Amino acid sequence: MPAKLSVNLNAIAMLRNRRDLPWPSVAGLGRIALEAGAHGLTVHPRPDERHIRFSDLPVLRALIDDAFHQAEFNIEGYPSEAFLALVEEHQPDQVTLVPDDPSQATSDHGWPFRERLGFLKPVVQRLKRQGFRVSLFCDPDAPEDELAAARETGADRVELYTGPYGACFDDSAKAAIELEKLAETARLAAGFGLGVNAGHDLTVDNLPAIAKRIPALAEVSIGHGLTADALEHGMAETVRRFLRACKG
């Protein structure tokens, strides 16, 4: 089965936040994406609300609950107490824990699982007790013992950080090397019984190769590249383009 497509709405929110006006509408674009066949919506609310605002979360949860029951809501972020409270209030289907410092411009690395096991394990257990699927952001070249530690947290999945792969958009030889790292990490993760998601700087051009090389990929979450594509093609057509790309 092709990887599911979760549309990350952070970049739409960033455009909206340029003015004190409600457009482009985050929920409106989310609705168009779901109507066009996207399998879910992703948000990464940061503590300064520079992209997604906390007030977007109930609206997006209601959109899925009211009209798109099969779709999933994925909330990503650093598991501070404030983030965990947001998650518990807005009941996503999946929580993706990311080791971002609040001052980071965007996510740029996965968890050091072994080093942070003592921190992650109780957080994962707290989330799992409430029925959320938990995914952990993972370096593209995480070695076996790191994935063993990811498994020890009790998480269901890892999300492979595909930034270095995405950065090779103009160098196919380097992209092939990055893709092999991702494929090996996915293989190790699967060996520990972890599901595998992927995200960061994926595009309609680089998605087919990763979908083909890692057929077990469960989900991709895509925001920046997908939003850029939607400016050209419109959100509905962009979602159809990315769904085709997910087939490899």
Binding-site residues for 1-deoxy-D-xylulose 5-phosphate sit at 46, 51, 106
Q: Report what 202 binds from ligand DXP, ligand LD2JLWAY, none; CB cut-off 5-8 Å by kind.
A: ligand LD2JLWAY
Give the residues across from 136 on adjacent strands: 97, 158
Q: Which residue is nearest to ligand LD2JLWAY (CB)?
A: 199
Among candidate residues 90, 146, 178, 200, the one labeled active-site is 200
CB-based burial of residue 145 (10 Å sphere; 0-12 exposed, 13-18 middle, 19+ buried)?
Answer: exposed
Residue written as token pair 């609040």: 102
201 binds, among ligand DXP, ligand LD2JLWAY, none (CB under 5 to 8 A by kind): ligand LD2JLWAY
Site for ligand DXP in 34-53 (CB under 6 A): 44, 51
Query: Torsions phi, psi of 133, nearest 5?
Result: -75, 140
CB of 157 to ligand DXP, least distance (A): 13
Cβ atoms of 196 and 214 closer than 8 Å: yes
Task: Out of 98, 155, 182, 189, point to the residue binding ligand DXP (CB under 6 A).
Answer: 98
Reported in sequence order, the residue ranges of the chain that DSSP labels E, i.e. its strands, are 4-8, 40-43, 72-77, 94-97, 133-138, 157-161, 195-199, 219-222
Which of 76, 139, 146, 178 contacts ligand DXP by CB under 6 A? 76
Encoded tokens for 200:
């960061």
Q: Which residue out of 72, 76, 146, 178 is catalytically annotated? A: 76
Residue count at the site for ligand DXP (CB under 6 A)? 13
Could you give the dihedral angle defined by the CA atoms of residues 150, 48, 108 and 147, in that order, rounded to the nearest 10 degrees?
Answer: 0
Q: How far apart are CA 246 and CA 11, in angstroms?
A: 21
Out of 17, 25, 106, 203, point to the residue binding ligand DXP (CB under 6 A): 106
Chain residues binding ligand DXP by CB under 6 A are 8, 10-11, 44, 51, 76, 98, 106-107, 137, 199-200, 223
User: Which amino acids are annotated catalytic?
Assistant: 44, 76, 200
